[in-house]
Structure 1
Amino acid sequence: MEIISENILTKVIQPRPENSHKGTFGRVLLVGGSAEFGGAIILATKACVFAGAGLVTCATDQTVRSSLRCAVPEAMTIDFTDFDSLTQQLKTAEVVVVGPGLSESLKAADILHLVLSMQNENQYLVIDGSAISLFGGGGFELSYPKKVIFTPHAMEWQRLSGLKIKEQTATNNLAAQQKLGALIVLKSHHTQILWQEKILENPLGTPAQATGGMGDTLAGIIASFLGQFTKDWAGQNFIDTVTAAVFIHSYAAERIAANNYVALPTHISELLPQLMHQFSQENKQAKKTESN
């Protein structure tokens, strides 16, 4: 097992190139947010925007769209039951998140089928929340598993892997990951990243994070980082990029928890631009030192 260190942030988060535009920093599509669980997709979308994604679109329930426009005016929005519009967005997105607040309805299953069927070999797919439970119920397949990131907590991992919580040992978890072929971000008080016989463990985490919407925020950060830092200008591999997203999520929470009883997901998102600036400057200084 390898423990993740703060160095991953300095490695991945880089100063933005002078000659850049919105498209430089990723086209991300987030799909989720039923009428009952609209807050989840709003939190994921906010995290994605605040973590720096260039162009963010949210496909959600019609009843959620006005709230989303107020909460995250930087994001575009479409109705996720409009499959023509959703198909067009899926064709152009470089990263797709599906699941936050999606629910497990028949409509949600149809949406998940469409998202999975539309994934292309150059597109990252983050499967979160209720989409994990739907997938674990069977009837779904991955076209490009090496481009897929699942973000389950222990109970969702049980549904996805078939491993009861008491059976979720390192050996069993890695075997289940290899069977799926996708990268697993197994959320807990010390989140683990499972990939090709390797476990990376996040040493950070605080009970101040034990609040609704924390996982939705993480999914949005992961997608935003993938949209930016796996580009040619940044050149990071997707494992390092996901690892950095997981680490900064908890890093921000610990910063907030130093003076607050609860680290709210919205406050984590709002702290990200400041933290990313800090680590991008450390990256710049490290490169300058290396060149001297």
Structure 2
Amino acid sequence: MIFRAKIKLTDPQIGADQMIPVTEQILKKVITPRPAESHKGNYGRVVVIAGSHTYGGAGIMSASAALYAGAGLITLISDLVNRTALHAQHPEIMFADWTDQKLVTQLIDGANVIVIGPGLGLDNQAQELLTLTLSQVINAQTLILDGSALTLLSQTPEKKIQSDAQLILTPHQEEWHRLSGLNIAEQTPAKNQEVLAAKFPESTILVLKQHHTQTYADGQIYENTSGSPAMATGGMGDTLTGIIAALVAQFKQPVDATVTAVYLHGLAGQVLAETQYVALPSQLILELPVLMAKYSLK
């Protein structure tokens, strides 16, 4: 419907007992010590296209999460109104005005991982940015679609990605309903796998955000075991998207990196919830490098 499809067989009987539980072991496997001889180019170039005039915080949180999760170079492409707020918090993150199509195209071309969607909005500018991004990505890149980008896709099914770039979708259950046509009550593991196989390229990774977030990849379903109800606040999804981008950029293996990002995100929220009733995304982001250092040495 939206992308070129490669059909895979799925097991209609698959249930929770056949899902792979994700534990802290994934952190020990994926997050490794950095070599002594390192430079920023070793850890990936991430571009985040996000944050409209109204929802600027979404883009800033996503880019900030990518920064604290270790991406080498990050650029936020956003509404110009968000530049001062971004640089007041993180001068390490570069900024580009998303109305400059030539610059946006150059930045997309030079990225390893492209995120589009957090707080993007649904207006003509957002539509144009999504169309440009889908037409510009190449096979060697990873494209992460989140938030508004997923809604725009569901509204305009004729849009197509023009390459075999690694695709990662990060919907919550209502966004997945819009994309898949499955009501939330119908979103069983078997049906989710079936729709993913029918509508998206074979290598697509689906991160279905819910209680015990599920990651669908390579015919497997990984169920997250970290997290806390303290994380139920605006901006958590934007933050997760930035973490996924950073880990894919650094560790290169998209499935392992994505599953690790989901667990790390939940674990950081758990740590905050030990002493706080609510865990804010901006606080969670600060926990990331501490946890990554801890588990890289195990």
Query: Same fold per TM (> 0.5)?
Result: yes
Match of 1:221 in 2: 243
Match of 2:7 in 1: none
Letter in 2 for 1:68: L
More helix by share: 1
Give the TM-score normalised by the residue count of structure 1: 0.93
Q: Of residues 6, 20, 30 in structure 2, which corresponds to 1:2?
A: 20
For residues 190-217 of structure 1, the C-alpha deviation after alignment (integer angstroms, 9 at most, x for no partner) is 1000123311000122110100000000
Structure 2, unaligned runs of 5 or more: 1-18
Alpha-carbon distance in 2 for matches of 1:193, 1:65 = 33
Letter in 1 for 2:94: M
Pair 1:256-2:272 in alignment = yes
Alpha-carbon distance in 2 for matches of 1:270, 1:196 = 32
Match of 2:120 in 1: 102
Letter in 2 for 1:9: L
Letter in 2 for 1:115: T
Match of 1:70 in 2: 88
Letter in 2 for 1:209: M
State percent identity of aligned pairs.
43
Alpha-carbon distance in 1 for matches of 2:280, 2:97 = 28
Letter in 2 for 1:26: G
Alpha-carbon distance in 2 for matches of 1:11, 1:65 = 37
Alpha-carbon distance in 2 for matches of 1:196, 1:51 = 25
Residues 174 and 157 (structure 1), Cα distance of their counterparts in 2 relative to 1, 3 Å cut: same
Q: Of residues 99, 109, 130 in structure 2, which corresponds to 1:91?
A: 109
Residues 145 and 205 (structure 1), Cα distance of their counterparts in 2 relative to 1, 3 Å cut: farther
Q: Of residues 178, 197, 206 in structure 2, which corresponds to 1:159?
A: 178
Report the Cα offset of residue 16 of structure 1.
Answer: 0.6
Moved more, 174-183 or 98-107: 174-183
Letter in 1 for 2:100: D
Residues 146 and 193 (structure 1), Cα distance of their counterparts in 2 relative to 1, 3 Å cut: farther
SS at match of 2:297: helix
SS at match of 1:199: strand
Match of 2:66 in 1: 48
Alpha-carbon distance in 2 for matches of 1:144, 1:134 = 19
Q: Of residues 159, 169, 179 in structure 2, which corresponds to 1:140?
A: 159
Report the Cα offset of residue 145 of structure 1.
Answer: 5.4
Match of 1:271 in 2: 287
Letter in 2 for 1:53: A
Alpha-carbon distance in 1 for matches of 2:23, 2:70 = 22
Work out whether residues 218 and 246 of structure 1, in 8 Å CA contact, stay in contact via their aligned partners in 2.
yes
Work out whether residues 214 and 222 of structure 2, in 8 Å CA contact, stay in contact via their aligned partners in 1.
yes
Match of 2:214 in 1: 192
Report the Cα offset of residue 45 of structure 1.
Answer: 0.8
Give the TM-score normalised by the residue count of structure 2: 0.91
Residues 185 and 144 (structure 1), Cα distance of their counterparts in 2 relative to 1, 3 Å cut: farther
Alpha-carbon distance in 2 for matches of 1:64, 1:102 = 12
Q: Of residues 120, 129, 136 in structure 2, which corresponds to 1:118?
A: 136
SS at match of 1:77: strand
Residues 186 and 145 (structure 1), Cα distance of their counterparts in 2 relative to 1, 3 Å cut: farther
Aligned residues: 276
Alpha-carbon distance in 1 for matches of 2:136, 2:164 = 13
Report the Cα offset of residue 162 of structure 1.
Answer: 1.1
